[in-house]
Amino acid sequence: MTAPTTAVAPSGALKRRTGLLALAAVLAGTDLAIKAWAERALPGSPVEGGPLGLELAFNSGVAFSFASDAPAWTVVAVTALITTAVAVVLWRTAAASRRLWGVALAAVLGGAAANLIDRAPDGRVTDYLHTGWWPTFNLADVFIVGGGLLLLALSWRENPPGGGTERNSSAQQ
């Protein structure tokens, strides 16, 4: 005789974590789809778009081609470690943090994961957004920088999740 199984509703924390991971996956998927399109559509035919055009480029380094001379496996390993650390922070803080904090971490994670997935096979990242005055970049970079700036702004406003002391209004008087 087998025991009856009952469906257990996921806790609020699990729902929030999986929702933020799903957001990160959607952001990563969006960038990867655009990268695939750019590799097919843009070689030799950039698209002028005013201040922001489309032009295919590849970067074997990280931000601003930093470490472009490093062995590809090193760059992949370091970015994989950083991406994993962001995923762990998101998982650990999602239940107790403000929603915007989780969204910012999901943006950073989605961008980092997209660039890592793109870099893994050949050691380079596909870039396609071109300004003419700034290095060519991709949507994953926008997610990383935007999420990072939002985290910075949120950390100025309040203590980050698990950041230590709670503010005591009576102690401030």
| Dist CA 108 CA 28 (whole Å) | 10
Question: In the predicted model, what is the mean pLDDT of residues 16-33?
Answer: 97
Confidence of residue 2 (pLDDT cuts 50, 70, 90): low
User: Which residue among 31, 118, 122, 127 is the active-site one?
Assistant: 127
Coil vs helix vs strand at 65: helix
What is the reported pTM? 0.81
Please write down the long-range contacts of 154-163, taking CB distance under 8 Å and 24 or more positions apart.
154/98, 154/100, 154/101, 154/104, 158/98, 160/93, 160/97, 160/101, 161/93, 161/96, 161/97, 161/101, 162/92, 162/93, 162/96
Best CA proximity match to 90, nearest among 79, 99, 77, 80: 99
For the cut 50, the answer to whether the pLDDT of residue 35 exceeds it is: yes
pLDDT beyond 50 at 172: no
Concerning whether 141 is annotated as a catalytic residue, the answer is yes
Q: 97-140, pLDDT tens digit by residue?
A: 889 999 999 999 999 999 999 999 998 999 999 998 888 999 99
| β-pair partners for 28 | none
The secondary structure of residue 137, as a DSSP letter, is B
Contact 114, 82 (CB under 8 A): no
- Catalytic choice (31, 69, 118, 141): 141
Percent of the chain with pLDDT over 90: 56
Active site residue 69: no
Say what the pLDDT of residue 140 is: 96
Average pLDDT, the chain: 84
CB 102 within 8 A of CB 20: yes
Range list of β-strands (E), 30-73: 53-59
Residue 22, pLDDT score: 97
| In the predicted structure, residue 151 carries a pLDDT above the cut 60 | yes
